[in-house]
Amino acid sequence: FSFSGSRIDSDGKPAKFQPPPKPVIIDKQKQREERRFLSPEFIPPRGRTDPLKFYIERKDMIQRRKVFNIPEFYVGSVLAVTTADPYASEKSNRFVGICIQRGGKGLGATFVLRNVIEDQGVEICYELYSPRIQAIEVLKLEKRLDDNLMYLRDALPEYSTFDMNMKPVSRLDSEEIPVNKLQVRMKPKPWSKRWERPKYNIKGIKFELPEKKMKEAQKWSQPWLEFDMLREYDTSKIEEKIWKEVSEALQK
Q: Which residues bind other proteins (CB under 8 A)?
A: 83, 85, 87-89, 93, 95, 110, 117-127, 130, 132, 153, 190, 192
Residues, the chain: 252
Q: How far is the CB of 209 from other proteins (least distance, A)?
A: 18
Compare residues 115 and 242 and give the one whose CB is closer to other proteins.
115
For other proteins, the closer of residues 132 and 244 by Cβ is 132
For CA atoms 146, 136, 71, 41, the dihedral sign is positive
CB of 133 to other proteins, least distance (A): 9
Among 166, 84, 162, 170, residue whose Cα is nearest residue 126: 84
Distance in Å, CB of 148 to other proteins, minimum:
15
- Any idea what DSSP says for residue 193? S
Nearer to other proteins, 88 or 250 (CB): 88
Q: Is the dihedral of CA 243, 142, 162, 90 positive or negative?
A: negative
Q: Which is nearer to other proteins, 152 or 205 (CB)?
A: 152
104: left (phi > 0), else alpha (psi -120 to 50), else beta? left
> 153, exposed or middle or buried, with CB in 10 Å at 0-12, 13-18, 19+?
middle
Give the nearer residue to other proteins in terms of CB position, either 85 or 240: 85
Q: CB 81 → other proteins: shortest distance, Å?
A: 10
CB of 125 to other proteins, least distance (A): 5
